[in-house]
Amino acid sequence: MVDAELAALGGSALLEVLASPELLEHPRAQVGEVTYAEKITKETLHLVPEMSAELVLRTVRLGGAHLFVASKRVGVESARESQVELSPASLAWVEGEVILGTSDGSATLVEVRPEGSTSMSAQAWWAGLRESKGDLQWH
């Protein structure tokens, strides 16, 4: 959804610049030094318990983030901040939400995509888990 919004915004901005003779007559050179961004790989998008909650949320926003629960890959399509305190690598159901313990706090899973399935709410995924939910870990 965010990609579509950015594409529409970028398209309209490009059309505005191309339709404006003033903007085309006075191009501005890039200011500052060039920076290098490393290629994003599957390993970059693999969420691990050693990550901070902030880094987990940033990685999820990139798209394609995933983690493993009981050796099964689970894509994380959206998540948000959580105030619940959990130990790192813990996965728990707290007050109707699926909480992921990170190195410095936690994150709430909102929408996930289990391996071989379609996107669903984290609550629906949790309800369908066949593993023992007492001491569930993620990696």
DSSP 8-state symbol, 131: S
* pLDDT given at position 24: 81
Q: Model confidence over 39-74: pLDDT tens digits?
A: 999 999 999 999 999 999 999 999 999 999 988 999
| Residue 67, Cβ density class (10 Å: 0-12 exposed, 13-18 middle, ≥19 buried) | buried
Which neighbouring-strand residues pair with 106? Answer: 101
User: Between 34 and 125, where is the model more confident?
Assistant: 125
Residue 1 has pLDDT above 60, yes or no: no
Residue-range domain boundaries for the chain: 39-137
Residue 3 scores a pLDDT above 80: no
Q: What percent of the chain stands above pLDDT 70?
A: 99
pLDDT digits (tens, 9 = 90+) for 70-120: 889 999 999 999 999 999 999 999 999 999 999 999 999 999 999 999 999
Give the domain 39-137 fold. Methionyl-tRNA Fmet Formyltransferase; Chain A, domain 2 (3.10.25)
Number of residues that make up the chain: 139
Among candidate residues 18, 28, 59, 61, the one with its CA nearest the CA of residue 42:
59
Mean pLDDT of the chain: 91
